[in-house]
């Protein structure tokens, strides 16, 4: 004891804390020494610790493959087979999809295929822009109307209208189904505790497993086409709605529940007349999430036949046609912005009703917007028959930046080729490749042990068991090597994104105007579909790990910035005042007070960055990485369910391991700082 | 005085939180605080027995955590008591099945909540009509009834307003109207005015007294405010740590607190506003004392009036009042010296 203790009790507890720290340090030092010995010396005698023995592998891949075959070939419910069931579901979803597609894109058709005769034309671009404009006006006033109309105007102006309508049709089907499905599962989870306990791990898995992985089974069960794409979109967008529903229902004030009981509600009345309406603000957040995630899925869903804008982006990416790709990508963004703002405005409006409207009685007076929209549809429909340009936007008036952006890329490539190559090679040779070799050389056994120890230090035995088992499963299913490549790419990208994000966060946190600009930029970055990031990266750096890293960093940097700024700004102003009163310089306040207190928040930002990086990594498989993402992608092209799911699960496990460890760490830091959440 | 029939009886009601509470209670008849603590249980309501008479305002008063809210929820079975009996019109509610409970709550009970518990998506009218809607009463009838209730609580003209467009006091008026819409026999008010500003609270208390003078409901009223309890109550039950410490009229509670805890509560209560003439009056003398000018009575006062009300009636020349009972028959005399004595007590 070097410091004099103020009181005996203090001294005792201090010793105890030190002893605790000391023991922990000793444990870690020992563990690291054992690990180092294992790594450096054991390869000749214990090769199995480095490469998981094939004989002991869990043949999960085969099991899944067999189960899938059984499902599609033999499974039967007596009266009908499993395949009948999936085809039935597909047929049911197909009906509203055809109607939506008819209204927006193909028109009302009679007959099949190319013999079909158009009975009624689809909504013209004029009519649809007017309708969304009216919706904006109704829900949010002139500014929203202008924004929404501009978004759709952008789409028509850049010649993406037809594609956009196909995409919109599938979104219009996927979103309500996703919302209702998520709501029902959430309500069931709220009502039955055991169900909730069963659902939550599944939701965790669903939100971390790469989408590609479950595209394969969907493809097999529902076959290629827009319906399968709608189903994939629903599965992707449904988990957050379920989660939000359970949270929102739990958040309903206990007095409101008491009220429901006191007026004698039955269970059904309780759910639908009391709980759901009271939880509406929370539920609307979920609806918005479903919309955004559905739009996120647009490109990936086109891999199994969604068509529309997603297909356009994908095809452009394959041709490396950057202009078209970016235009179609921006059209998705325009759609996303319009639907996001509209849904938020409708939510805000629905949640804050005004009495004035409840008093009107005449039908026309009560629904002036609906009446106006109907009028526009009829008038423009008739006008469209007479004037073609009203029905279909004339191609001669379309704009394209395609050649311009291509020329820009070309120019950059020609002018800066040497510099870009030198930069890329320097990074590759000095950092990327050595790091990759290092990770690949590590023994899986030691890594599993260290991860479990980290789990134990941060969160006790349960976390240690979870982390250890998941890490072991990655090795035992034969995915270790590819997983290490994923970890390497993800790790490097996260370090770069985290460091850049942290710096940008520190610089912008105190500069209100700068932050406003940065916020707009990162908001936009987050709405851009992930594929869009790939194209410029590929154009500049060609395929390979470096390109993947650049794309991942660009995609995953937003949360690092956002959480750093939030953390720094939310530090209790009294503490900063106290620091100033003690005579600290601005720099001291930043390093000694604000960053320390913002640490838990920053850690959560890094956590988010890791999650985004992992989801982006899978997509970078398209530019030739050699990691789990590639494995999933290959499985998709070969329609190999087992291979795709096993690799996908490994990605999910990596995500869950890092998420749990970082969350536990953040919780510890927060507890030590005495911050509450 | 005739005691009204009993509406609600609680017989040794217990509510313990913690695992194995029921088994523990059947094994240990009347566990003490320490016993419970050792068993890892929390006694939110401990062995409560009380009777609520028809037409009275029965106030349950206690600090936060005293178990008053849990007790009132046991009475309506919003919370399942661990042991005991709740007799409502002689029927043991704890034996009633779910269907019967729904029936009772729909037609015979009403409740007002501290934070109003209004449904945000319904107008004031819709909220008041909500209990009737749940019963499946058609729109025209339930809205007519709701409009009547809104009129009764003085909110006419605000029927189409949504809760967030109303002030706190107005929202609670809606809450009150809603709880009255089904014409309940038993009316629970769970700290109905605690979330309101002091001035509004005062106004709402007056409103409540006015309503009760018209409606004459049987009321269980929860509060943590002793002044509110004394103002409104016919009888008060004071709770501490889940148990009832004392039950009595406001006067009894103030004049003869059962223990130090109750005494501490009532210490700052202005006694003159609680003590009634009947407790201070002296025997009726044979002839008018020299109470006022010309050897007549200085004036008449009701036996049920509080001492504070009598003070302005005395003057230099008036030092004795005649006390009349409810029927107007003279029953005693109130002397100025005794009134001064009460007023001086702190």
Domains, chain B: 277-344 (3.10.580.10)
Of all residues in chain A, the one with the smallest CA distance to B124 is A355
Cα–Cα distance for residue pair A306/A167, rounded to 1 Å: 7
Q: Yes or no: say if B237 and B60 are a contact pair by the CB < 8 Å rule.
A: yes
- Please indicate whether, in this complex, the C-beta atoms of B160 and A355 are within 8 angstroms of each other: yes
pLDDT at position A190: 93
Going from the N-terminus, what domains does chain A have, and what CATH number goes with each?
A: 28-57+438-476 (no CATH), 82-106+122-352+370-399 (1.10.3720.10), 477-677 (1.10.3720.10)
DSSP B306: B
Residues in chain A: 677
- The neighbouring-strand residues paired with A31 are none
> Are A263 and B182 in contact (CB < 8 Å)?
yes
User: Over the stretch A399-417, which tens digit does the pLDDT of each residue have?
Assistant: 776 667 777 777 877 787 8
Q: Under an 8 A CB cutoff, do A262 and B111 touch?
A: yes
Q: How far is CA A553 from the centre of its chain?
A: 15
In sequence order, which residues have a C-beta less than 8 Å from that of residue A151 and are 6 or more positions away?
A: A334, A335, A337, A338
Q: What's the mean pLDDT in A41-55?
A: 71
Which residues in chain A touch residue B106, judged by CB atoms under 8 angstroms apart? 263-264
Q: How far A266 CA sits from the closest chain B CA (Å)? A: 8
Per CB-CB distance under 8 Å, the chain A contacts of B113 are 255, 258-259
Span A653-676, mean pLDDT? 83
Inspect the interface and report whether the beta carbons of A280 and B109 lie closer than 8 Å.
no
Which residues of A are less than 8 Å from B102 in CB distance? 264-266
Going residue by residue through chain B (346 aa), what tens digit of pLDDT does each one get? 456 788 999 998 999 888 877 778 777 777 877 777 777 788 889 999 999 999 999 999 998 889 999 999 999 999 999 989 999 998 999 999 989 999 999 999 999 999 999 998 899 999 999 999 999 999 999 999 999 999 988 888 888 899 989 999 999 999 999 999 999 999 999 999 988 888 888 989 998 999 898 888 999 999 999 989 988 999 999 999 899 999 999 988 988 888 998 988 888 888 888 888 888 888 877 666 655 555 567 778 888 888 888 888 887 777 788 888 888 888 888 888 888 888 877 5
Which among A253, A264, A355 is the nearest to B162, CB-wise? A355
Distance, in Å, from the CA atom of B325 to the CA atom of B320, rounded to the nearest integer, reads: 16
The nearest CA of chain B is from the CA of A149 a distance in Å of: 30
CB < 8 Å to A277, chain B = 119-122
Residues of chain B with C-beta less than 8 angstroms from the C-beta of A271: none
Q: Do A358 and B160 touch (CB under 8 A)?
A: yes
Looking at beta carbons, which residues of chain A come within 8 Å of B78?
A: 258, 261-262
Q: Which residue in A248, A257, A258, A276 has the most chain B C-beta atoms within 10 A of its own C-beta, making it the best mutation to test that interface?
A: A258
B73 close contact with A: CB closer than 8 A? yes
DSSP three-state, residue B175? helix
Does residue A599 carry a pLDDT above 60?
Answer: yes
| Whether pLDDT at A491 is above 80 | yes
Question: How far is A263 from chain B, CA to nearest CA, in Å?
Answer: 5
Q: Do B117 and A253 count as a contact with CB atoms less than 8 A apart? A: yes
Q: Which of A262, A266, A273 to mutate to test the interface with B (most CBs of B within 10 A)?
A: A262
Residues of chain B with Cβ-Cβ distance to A269 below 8 Å are: 134
Which residues in B113-145 are b (16+ Cβ under 10 Å) and which e? bbbbbbbbbbbbbbbbbbbbbbbebeeeebbeb
Answer whether 0.90 is exceeded by the pTM: no
- Nearest chain B residue to A254 by CA distance is B117
Contact B103/A at CB under 8 A: yes
CA–CA distance from A302 to each of A307, A334, A615 (Å)? 5, 18, 17
- Do A351 and B120 make contact, defined as CB atoms within 8 angstroms? yes
- Per-residue tokens: A562: 């956002």
A352 neighbourhood in chain B, CB within 8 Å: 164
User: If you measure CA to CA, which chain B residue comes closest to A275?
Assistant: B119
Q: Using CB atoms, which residue from B117, B160, B188 is nearest to A255?
A: B117
Cross-chain residue pair B162–A353, CB shorter than 8 Å: yes
- Say which range, A491-505, A552-566, A575-589, B54-68, has the weakest mean pLDDT: A575-589
Distance of residue B165 Cα from the nearest chain A Cα, in angstroms: 8
Which residues of chain B have a CB within 8 Å of the CB of A253?
115, 117
pLDDT at A4 over 50: no
For every residue of A480-526, DSSP letters joined together read HHHHHHHHHHHHHHHHHHHHHHHHHHHHHHT-HHHHHHHHHHHHHHH
Q: What average pLDDT does this structure show over A276-291?
A: 89
- C-alpha A380/C-alpha A392 separation (Å) is 11
Distance from CA of A290 to the nearest CA of B (A): 23
User: B121 touching A, CB under 8 A?
Assistant: yes
* Distinct helix (H) and strand (E) counts, chain B: 14, 13
Alpha carbon of B52: minimum distance to chain A alpha carbons (Å): 19
Beta-carbon separation of B119 and A359 below 8 A: no
Pairing between strand B218-223 and B186-190? parallel
pLDDT digits (tens, 9 = 90+) for A173-212: 999 999 999 999 999 999 998 999 999 888 888 877 778 7
pLDDT at B244: 93
Strands (E), chain B: 6-17, 42-53, 57-61, 83-88, 91-92, 109-112, 186-190, 218-223, 235-240, 243-248, 300-302, 320-324, 330-335
For testing contact with chain A, the best of B71, B97, B117, B155 (most A CBs within 10 A): B117
* Interchain contact, B105 vs A264, CB within 8 Å: yes
How far apart are the CA of A262 and the nearest CA of chain B, in angstroms?
Answer: 5
Q: How close is the nearest chain A Cα to the Cα of B30, in Å?
A: 30
Helices A161-191, A308-319: crossing angle, 10 deg rounding: 120
State the smallest CA–CA distance between residue B96 and chain A in angstroms: 14
Residue whose C-alpha is closest to residue B112's, from A249, A250, A258: A258
Q: What sign does the CA torsion over A212, A213, A216, A221 have? A: negative
Round the average pLDDT of chain A to a whole number and report it: 82
Which of A101-115, A118-132, A136-150 bottoms out in mean pLDDT, i.e. has the lowest? A101-115
CB contact under 8 A, B121 and A277: yes
Beta-sheet pairing, B83-88 with B6-17: antiparallel
pLDDT, one tens digit per residue, over A446-484 is 888 888 888 888 888 888 889 888 888 888 888 888 888
Enter the ipTM: 0.86
For residue B69, which residues of chain A lie inside 8 Å, CB to CB?
Answer: none
Instruction: Report which of A291, A295, A95, A305 is spatially closest to residue A218, judged by C-alpha positions.
Output: A305
**A/B interface, count of CB pairs below 8 Å:** 75
* Percent helix, percent strand, percent coil in chain A, to nearest 5: 85, 0, 15
Q: Min CA distance, A672 vs chain B (Å)?
A: 28
> Å from A87 to nearest chain B CA?
40
φ, ψ (nearest 5 deg) of residue B31: -70, 145
DSSP string, B191-247: STTTTS-HHHHHHHHHHHHHHHHHH--EEEEEES-HHHHHHH-SEEEEEETTEEEEE
């Amino acid at each position: 004891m070097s410091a004099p203790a103020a009181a005996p009790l203090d001294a005792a507890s201090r010793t105890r804390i030190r002893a605790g720290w000391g023991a922990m340090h000793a444990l870690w030092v020992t563990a690291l020494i054992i690990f180092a010995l294992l790594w450096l010396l054991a390869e000749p005698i214990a090769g199995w610790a480095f490469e998981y023995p094939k004989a002991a592998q869990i043949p999960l891949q085969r099991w899944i493959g067999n189960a899938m075959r059984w499902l599609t070939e033999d499974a039967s419910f007596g009266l009908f087979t499993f395949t009948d069931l999936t085809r039935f579901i597909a047929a049911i979803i197909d009906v509203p999809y055809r109607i939506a597609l008819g209204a927006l894109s193909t028109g009302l058709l009679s007959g099949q295929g190319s013999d079909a005769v158009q009975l009624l034309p689809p909504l013209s671009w004029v009519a649809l822009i007017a309708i969304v404009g009216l919706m904006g006006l109704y829900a949010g006033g002139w500014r929203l109307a202008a924004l929404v109309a501009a978004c759709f105007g952008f789409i028509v102006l850049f010649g993406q209208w037809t594609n956009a309508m196909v995409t919109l049709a599938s979104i219009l089907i996927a979103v309500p189904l996703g919302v209702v499905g998520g709501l029902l599962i959430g309500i069931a989870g709220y009502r039955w505790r055991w169900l909730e306990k069963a659902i939550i791990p599944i939701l965790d898995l669903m939100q971390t497993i790469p989408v590609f992985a479950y595209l394969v089974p969907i493809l097999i069960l529902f076959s290629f086409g827009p319906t399968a794409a709608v189903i994939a979109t629903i599965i992707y967008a449904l988990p957050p709605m379920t989660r939000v529903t359970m949270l929102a229902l739990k958040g309903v004030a206990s007095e409101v529940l008491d009220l429901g009981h006191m007026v004698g509600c039955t269970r059904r009345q309780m759910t639908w007349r009391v709980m759901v309406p009271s939880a509406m603000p929370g539920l609307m957040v979920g609806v918005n999430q479903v919309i955004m995630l559905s739009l996120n899925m647009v490109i990936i869903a086109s891999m199994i036949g969604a068509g529309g804008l997603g297909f356009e982006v994908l095809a452009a990416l394959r041709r490396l046609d950057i202009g078209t790709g970016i235009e179609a990508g921006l059209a998705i963004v325009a759609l996303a912005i319009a639907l996001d703002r509209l849904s938020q405005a409708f939510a805000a409006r629905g949640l804050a009703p005004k009495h004035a409207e409840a008093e009107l009685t005449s039908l026309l007076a009560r629904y002036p917007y609906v009446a106006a929209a109907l009028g526009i549809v009829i008038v423009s429909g008739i006008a469209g028959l007479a004037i073609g340009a009203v029905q279909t936007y004339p191609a001669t008036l379309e704009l394209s930046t395609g050649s311009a952006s291509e020329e820009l890329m070309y120019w950059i490539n020609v002018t800066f080729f040497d510099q870009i190559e030198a930069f890329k090679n320097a990074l590759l040779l000095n950092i990327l490749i050595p790091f990759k070799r290092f990770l690949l050389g590590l023994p899986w056994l030691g890594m599993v042990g260290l991860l479990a120890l980290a789990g134990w230090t941060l969160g006790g035995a349960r976390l240690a068991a979870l982390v250890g088992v998941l890490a072991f499963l990655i090795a035992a299913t034969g995915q270790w090597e590819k997983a290490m490549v994923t970890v390497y790419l993800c790790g490097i990208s996260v370090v770069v994104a985290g460091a850049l994000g942290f710096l940008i966060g520190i610089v912008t946190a105190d500069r209100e105007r700068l932050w406003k600009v940065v916020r707009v930029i990162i908001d936009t970055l987050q709405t851009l579909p992930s594929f869009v990031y790939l194209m410029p990266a590929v154009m500049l750096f060609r395929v390979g790990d470096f390109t993947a890293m650049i794309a991942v960093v660009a995609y995953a940097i937003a949360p690092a910035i956002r959480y750093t700024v939030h953390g720094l700004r939310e530090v209790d102003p009294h503490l900063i005042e106290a620091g100033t009163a003690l005579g600290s310089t601005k720099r001291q306040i930043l390093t000694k007070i604000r960053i320390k207190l913002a640490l838990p928040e920053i850690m959560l930002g890094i956590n988010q960055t890791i999650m985004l990086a992992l989801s982006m990594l899978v997509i970078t498989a398209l530019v030739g990485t050699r990691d789990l993402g590639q494995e999933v992608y290959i499985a998709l092209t070969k329609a190999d369910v087992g291979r795709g799911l096993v690799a996908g699960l490994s990605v999910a496990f990596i995500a869950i391991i890092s998420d749990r460890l970082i969350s536990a760490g953040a919780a510890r830091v927060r507890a030590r700082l005495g911050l509450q959440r | 005085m005739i005691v009204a029939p009993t509406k609600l009886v609680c017989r040794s009601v217990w509510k313990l939180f913690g695992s194995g509470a029921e088994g523990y209670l059947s094994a240990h008849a009347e566990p003490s605080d320490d016993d419970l603590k050792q068993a890892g249980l929390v006694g939110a309501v401990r062995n409560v027995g009380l009777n609520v008479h028809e037409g009275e305002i029965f106030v349950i008063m206690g600090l936060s955590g005293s178990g008053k809210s849990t007790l009132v929820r046991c009475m309506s079975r919003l919370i399942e008591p661990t042991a005991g009996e709740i007799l409502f019109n002689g029927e043991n509610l704890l034996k009633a099945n779910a269907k019967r409970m729904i029936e009772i709550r729909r037609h015979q009970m009403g409740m007002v909540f501290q934070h109003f518990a209004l449904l945000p998506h319904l107008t004031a009218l819709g909220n008041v009509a909500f209990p009737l809607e749940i019963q499946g009463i058609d729109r025209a009838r339930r809205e007519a009834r709701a409009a009547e209730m809104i009129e009764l609580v003085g909110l006419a003209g605000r029927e189409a307003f949504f809760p967030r467009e109303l002030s706190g006091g107005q929202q609670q008026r809606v809450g009150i109207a809603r709880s009255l819409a089904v014409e309940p026999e038993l009316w629970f008010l769970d700290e109905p005015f605690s979330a309101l500003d002091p001035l509004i609270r005062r106004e709402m208390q007056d409103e409540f007294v006015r309503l009760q003078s018209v409606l004459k409901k049987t009321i269980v009223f929860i509060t943590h405010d002793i002044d509110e309890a004394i103002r409104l109550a016919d009888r008060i039950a004071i709770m501490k740590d889940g148990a009832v410490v004392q039950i009595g009229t406001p006067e009894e509670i103030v004049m003869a607190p059962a223990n130090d805890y109750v005494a501490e509560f009532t210490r700052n209560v202005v006694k003159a506003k609680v003590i009634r003439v009947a407790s201070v009056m002296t025997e009726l003398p044979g002839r008018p004392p020299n109470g006022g000018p010309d050897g007549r009575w200085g004036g008449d006062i009701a036996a049920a009036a509080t001492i504070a009300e009598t003070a302005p009636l005395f003057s230099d020349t008036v030092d004795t009042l005649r006390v009349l009972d409810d029927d107007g028959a003279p029953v005693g005399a109130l002397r100025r010296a005794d009134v001064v004595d009460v007023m001086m007590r702190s």
